[in-house]
Chains A and B, each alone.
Chain A
């Protein structure tokens, strides 16, 4: 009895040892290998300091390092900045740079390069707001950069990630040529990140190789990254399935996501897109006609069944979104007014607003859309509003610029739209709701929405250094806009990352592939 018990215990112990041994083995990253991954479109150029967007973000974040990087729970981690501090008054941010950091050509990365990069980004990056309060960058020594601000600017912390703040070498890009059209944005790139450019062939691929003098100890694990450019989503799906491509991000077609979920050896996950923060919504032009009345907008929200959109159109791949801040963001407020399907309530609201049914119709509205992928949503809205006697005419634009031009001029009643948060709300959220950004081109406040209280809250939240107070301000903001509905948010865009069993440490932080994949490895 005793002996049996003992041997059982021994077996158990041996089993545990085996198990832990196996885990330890699996978690030990392997050096070397070529990763074959895929991009869905062709990047304009590879320099994130002058080109925003997720397409440049992937190669850009491998070629160039940024001061900070982020883990899954939105906490900043040291990257090119070993440490950093924000002054008491919030008006200066000191970055202590790594002393061993060098560019791909061997030149040291200094505070001068940080100052130069900030200048270039301020001048040439499409997002003006993110570095606007930065007045100057002081460089007391080679490894200290002090960003001087005109007002506290907490958004700077997320703006210092790879997607938005590439540190570029002054000795290459400071030669007097326009950085936006610099020939070395596409070829002979000299970067600061974990991988060096081997070749960028427009329409075919971007090939990167390991930067041996990378400043992060023991990284990167991969020898080489081949980023193939495959624009057709079906062809990409087949490439994942037959193993030609081992990893890819930003897959957003529900049918393909669900198909790939059933493939053995592939993992498909929506994790890792919080900072990208893509949201789908139904936009209203609040400046004219019936839609100027908040009751009409609320009635429309009650008539549109989000459940149908989630289940029938997004096939269960997309998360609900109740406000203008992505549900993965720490600032997301779920406790806001919402609009369950209720046709009676919708009818009552429309009656109250002074739009009774005459000749079977209460009003006629138009709905625009800018790309073919969202046609089902638009057709659904038309059908749903028919039930509350609103006639909707669908207006298709020939292409994106045609639609964008109409939005910029606010020449629409309703429109389907997809807008990204881009990290901090100051960068990607404020633009839709503040009244001094009305009709300033596509993805500005094209709703013509204006509420002095919202302006005030957002202005305060933009410079509130205390995270708790800031969260409270954004929570108040979300409650107001969810009540007034300048747009009706339906869901988060279902971006998914696909990776094979061979991939270790896929980038599932908040920035998806717009972050360094220096710790990704290939399992043997």
Chain B
């Protein structure tokens, strides 16, 4: 009952938040000087004034603000995100076309970052002053402080040019002739390695540092000493008793970081020409393609809300204190 109630409250907050996101974003886009007619003129190498006026008329940009906002909100409530000004395609279709690529990238990166990050954290926590711990710290610091697009370009130069193991850009090789399903999967994974690792590098650092700190704390607690006294093996103590308890801050952070992973994906996708929502978002911002920008922001807000909710539920299962409300 308690669970249902908290979910309902969350959903109510979420709806209010979404409406605020729409109105705020729309207002900000409206207030920015210039509009899509300018960027269409840019893509055309110039345009005569009557052409620009016609564009503004066609897209209703000559209407007063409140009418434009009303029309937009009305459409969104009917789950219609409108048409892209720049590409003349439905925003929903443009987004759905790009969504799988982004999901694949973001989830892979998040999983890689979590697994590798936790492993590195545990390794360095087991011997906090050893050489491996210093190596992990250095590695984590590097991953966290290097700009993600720079890491990306560096990896490209290293593994696409100097040692050409991976392709430069895109998600698949369209020159393959009649590829089997298996070949296609391998091809996509082949293209995925560099972007996923680049995106993971930032979060890997965070997770490993956090996991290390949490593990150090846990390994010093009484029940670990009890476990040792009981004669359990080192491995059992670390992974079964220690890690399980150290994980909860990592999971919380992973949930909170999900929105950061999505925004990090914008840069990574651009460097690797990964055909996801990130490149679409960047193009839309550059082109002042308001319906697409608003659509993506709306969708991102939705994702963040849902992920936060899921994080809560996961925490409840791994940490009984939250379930009983004692924490």
Binding site for B on A (CB under 8 A): 34, 36, 41-42, 44-45, 51-56, 125-129, 178, 180-181, 185-186, 201-205, 207, 226, 228-232, 234-236, 238-239, 241-242, 244, 398-406, 419-420, 422, 428, 431, 440-444
A127 pairs with B94, CB closer than 8 A: no
How far apart are A48's CB and chain B's nearest CB, in angstroms?
10
Given the complex of chains A and B, what is the CA–CA distance between A8 and B131 in angstroms? 75
Partner of B33, one of A53, A405, A422, A443: A405
Of all chain B residues, the one with the shortest Cβ separation from A401 is: B34
Given the complex of chains A and B, what is the CA–CA distance between A230 and B175 in angstroms? 16
Q: A44-B43, A238-B156, A404-B34 are in contact. Are A204 and B275 (CB under 8 A)?
A: yes
Q: Mark B41-63, 1 if CB is under 8 A from A, else 0.
A: 11111111111100000100000
**Is residue B97 within 8 Å, beta carbon to beta carbon, of the partner chain?**
yes
Most chain A CB atoms below 10 A, which of B36, B39, B47: B47
Q: Which residues of A contact B175 (CB under 8 A)?
A: 34, 36, 226
B47 pairs with A244, CB closer than 8 A: no
Binding site for A on B (CB under 8 A): 32-36, 38-52, 58, 86-89, 94, 97-98, 153, 156-157, 160-161, 164, 167-171, 174-175, 270-273, 275, 279-280, 283, 285-286, 288
How far apart are A425's CB and chain B's nearest CB, in angstroms?
14
Q: A52-B44, A126-B41, A127-B46 are in contact. Are A228 and B169 (CB under 8 A)?
A: yes
A128 pairs with B174, CB closer than 8 A: no
Given the complex of chains A and B, what is the CA–CA distance between A373 and B160 in angstroms? 26
Q: Which residues of A contact B288 (CB under 8 A)?
A: 399, 401
Given the complex of chains A and B, what is the CA–CA distance between A126 and B55 in angstroms? 10
Partner of B153, one of A52, A234, A402: A234
Partner of A401, one of B33, B160, B169: B33
Of all chain B residues, the one with the shortest Cβ separation from A51 is: B44
A239 pairs with B168, CB closer than 8 A: yes
How far apart are A163's CB and chain B's nearest CB, in angstroms?
10
Of all chain B residues, the one with the shortest Cβ separation from A439 is: B49
Q: Which residues of B contact A239 (CB under 8 A)?
A: 168-169
Of all chain B residues, the one with the shortest Cβ separation from A440 is: B49
Q: A400-B42, A401-B39, A401-B288 are in contact. Are A202 and B48 (CB under 8 A)?
A: no
Partner of A232, one of B98, B174, B270: B270
B34 pairs with A230, CB closer than 8 A: no
A242 pairs with B87, CB closer than 8 A: no
How far apart are B85's CB and chain A's nearest CB, in angstroms?
10
Q: Which residues of A contact B286 (CB under 8 A)?
A: 399-400
A-B contact pairs, 23 of them (CB 8 A): A53-B44, A55-B43, A126-B44, A128-B51, A129-B48, A201-B97, A203-B280, A204-B174, A228-B273, A230-B170, A232-B271, A235-B169, A238-B156, A242-B168, A244-B168, A399-B34, A401-B39, A428-B45, A440-B48, A441-B47, A441-B52, A442-B38, A444-B49
Q: Which residues of A contact B153 (CB under 8 A)?
A: 234-235
Of all chain A residues, the one with the shortest Cβ separation from B94 is: A202
Given the complex of chains A and B, what is the CA–CA distance between A131 and B121 in angstroms? 69
B39 pairs with A42, CB closer than 8 A: no
A53 pairs with B43, CB closer than 8 A: yes
How far apart are A281's CB and chain B's nearest CB, in angstroms?
14
Q: Which residues of B contact A129 (CB under 8 A)?
A: 48
Of all chain A residues, the one with the shortest Cβ separation from B36 is: A401
Given the complex of chains A and B, what is the CA–CA distance between A53 and B51 in angstroms? 15
How far apart are B157's CB and chain A's nearest CB, in angstroms?
7
B51 pairs with A235, CB closer than 8 A: no
Most chain A CB atoms below 10 A, which of B97, B275, B288: B275
Given the complex of chains A and B, what is the CA–CA distance between A51 and B175 in angstroms? 28
A45 pairs with B49, CB closer than 8 A: no
Q: Which residues of B contact A34 (CB under 8 A)?
A: 175
A205-B174, A441-B52 known; 5 new pairs, CB 8 Å cut-off, are A52-B44, A231-B279, A235-B271, A242-B161, A441-B48
Q: A235-B156, A238-B156 are in contact. Are A44 and B40 (CB under 8 A)?
A: yes
Given the complex of chains A and B, what is the CA–CA distance between A160 and B94 in angstroms? 34
A202 pairs with B87, CB closer than 8 A: yes
B41 pairs with A404, CB closer than 8 A: yes
Given the complex of chains A and B, what is the CA–CA distance between A333 and B40 in angstroms? 32
Q: Which residues of B contact A204 (CB under 8 A)?
A: 170-171, 174, 275
Q: Which residues of B contact A242 (CB under 8 A)?
A: 160-161, 164, 168
Partner of B34, one of A229, A402, A420: A402
Partner of B167, one of A54, A207, A244, A404: A244
Most chain A CB atoms below 10 A, which of B45, B46, B97, B168: B45
Given the complex of chains A and B, what is the CA–CA distance between A286 and B153 in angstroms? 44
B45 pairs with A53, CB closer than 8 A: yes
Q: Which residues of B contact A125 (CB under 8 A)?
A: 51
Given the complex of chains A and B, what is the CA–CA distance between A202 and B280 in angstroms? 9
Q: Which residues of A contact B168 (CB under 8 A)?
A: 230, 235, 238-239, 242, 244
B32 pairs with A207, CB closer than 8 A: no
Partner of B46, one of A186, A230, A420: A420
Given the complex of chains A and B, what is the CA–CA distance between A420 and B46 in angstroms? 9
Q: Which residues of A contact B271 (CB under 8 A)?
A: 232, 234-235
